[in-house]
């Protein structure tokens, strides 16, 4: 069974391109699954039944003497790993049946994304000066880009200068942004190495171009010529932790709390839908593999419509 798990994880790494953190979580979940099966007398996956898989899920939720109870998301991830392992074993001819196919992960509670108002976004962005210190220009460009494109923070700090494209002066073709011309599209590398192109609006474009022309060369002078778009004070690539610090400092200056990079991403999606954007367009912009993931934002906008209706319509609160 150990060799089957090893082959499955290799498949996920090579064929599916799963992130290292996800692979580590799957390895931990599957090692626990193998220990559970061994305790029930199984020495091969061929003899595993659906009741074994169901009991494993129950143990995950209830915990035991060696493990605390797992929450819905963690237990669901473990079940997904187990289901994938059995599908892999069946496909490779290692087993004749898939005992996990009928076992569903526990349904997570519906959690609406946290989005903030446009006024709050403007207060946050206004807390960082657009000019002056090179790091201030960088910080303004970073925050404008996060909100203006809905990027994950890891995607933003992973950008290289050549990931920015501009329409040439003649109006045709696209070139890497070099401090001249108009940045119009950003190429992000999302989960699993998937790439997507996202348009960049006027405010974010202006902040990024100002940073490229006036600030990045100053920061780059302290480094070794790395291609990263966002640089730290030593001229190296700005880290995820460094970007978090930029956002935290801006939020403190603006007197805001509970602001995270995902707050900006959620607000980006919610504001687009509020403005009439199609959910499938928002799906593409966010880089979601399934539109189901994006549809949770439509719940946010419906709740907002209810609030406006309740506060505005003269008979909204009338007794029925």
Contact by Cβ (8 Å): 201, 193: no
Burial class (CB in 10 A: 0-12, 13-18, 19+), 7: middle
Which one from 205, 265, 266, 271 is the annotated catalytic residue? 265
CB atoms within 10 A of CB 306: 11
- Say whether 288 is catalytic: yes
- Say whether 265 is catalytic: yes
Q: Which two tokens stand for residue 211?
A: 């940073």
| φ/ψ of residue 40, rounded to 5 | -95, 10
Q: Which residues have C-beta within 8 Å of that of residue 41, sequence separation ≥ 6?
A: none
Which one from 187, 240, 262, 304 is the annotated catalytic residue? 262
> Which pairs with CB-CB distance under 8 Å and at least 24 residues apart come from 28-32?
29/77, 29/78, 29/81, 29/82, 30/5, 30/81, 30/82, 30/85, 31/5, 32/67, 32/78
Which one from 187, 191, 240, 304 is the annotated catalytic residue? 191
With the CA atoms of 191, 195, 197 and 198 taken in that order, what torsion angle do they form, in degrees rounded to the nearest 10?
10
- Say whether 262 is catalytic: yes
Contact by Cβ (8 Å): 266, 272: no
Could you tell me which of 183, 141, 191, 134 has the C-alpha nearest to residue 163? 183
Q: Which two tokens stand for residue 144?
A: 């404008």
Q: What is the Cα–Cα distance from 55 to 99, expressed in whole angstroms?
A: 12
Could you tell me which of 33, 66, 73 has the C-alpha nearest to residue 52? 33
Residue 175 backbone class (left: φ over 0; alpha: ψ -120 to 50; beta: rest): beta
Which one from 152, 237, 266, 271 is the annotated catalytic residue? 152
Place of tokens 């940073």: 211
What is the DSSP secondary structure assignment for residue 192, as one 8-state letter? G
Question: Which residues are annotated as catalytic?
Answer: 152, 191, 262, 265, 288, 297
């Amino acid at each position: 069974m150990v060799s089957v798990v090893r082959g499955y994880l290799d498949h996920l790494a090579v064929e599916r391109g799963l992130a290292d953190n996800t692979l580590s979580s799957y390895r931990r979940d599957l090692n626990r699954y193998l220990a559970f099966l061994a305790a029930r007398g199984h020495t091969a996956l061929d003899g595993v039944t659906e009741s074994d898989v169901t009991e494993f899920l129950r143990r995950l939720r209830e915990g035991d003497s060696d493990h605390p109870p797992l929450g819905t998301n963690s237990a669901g991830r473990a079940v997904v790993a187990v289901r994938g392992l059995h599908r892999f074993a069946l496909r490779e001819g290692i087993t004749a049946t898939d005992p996990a196919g009928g076992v569903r992960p526990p349904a997570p509670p519906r959690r609406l994304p946290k989005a903030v108002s446009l006024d709050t976004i403007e207060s946050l962005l206004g807390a960082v000066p657009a000019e002056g210190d090179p790091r201030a220009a960088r910080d303004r460009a970073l925050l404008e880009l996060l909100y203006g494109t809905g990027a994950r923070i890891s995607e933003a700090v992973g950008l290289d200068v050549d990931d920015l494209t501009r329409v040439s002066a003649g109006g045709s073709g696209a070139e890497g942004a070099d401090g001249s011309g108009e940045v119009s599209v950003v190429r992000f590398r999302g989960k699993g190495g998937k790439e997507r192109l996202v348009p960049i609006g006027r405010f974010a474009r202006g902040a990024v171009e100002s940073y490229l022309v006036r600030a990045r060369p100053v920061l780059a002078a302290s480094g070794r010529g790395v291609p990263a778009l966002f640089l730290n004070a030593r001229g190296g690539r700005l880290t995820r932790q460094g970007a978090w610090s930029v956002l935290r400092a801006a939020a403190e200056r603006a007197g805001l709390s509970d602001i995270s990079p995902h707050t900006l991403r959620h607000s980006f999606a919610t504001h687009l839908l509020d403005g009439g954007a199609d959910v499938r367009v928002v799906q593409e912009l966010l880089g979601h593999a399934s539109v189901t993931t994006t549809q949770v934002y439509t719940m946010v906008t419906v709740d907002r419509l209810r609030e406006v209706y309740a506060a505005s319509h003269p008979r909204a609160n009338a007794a029925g």
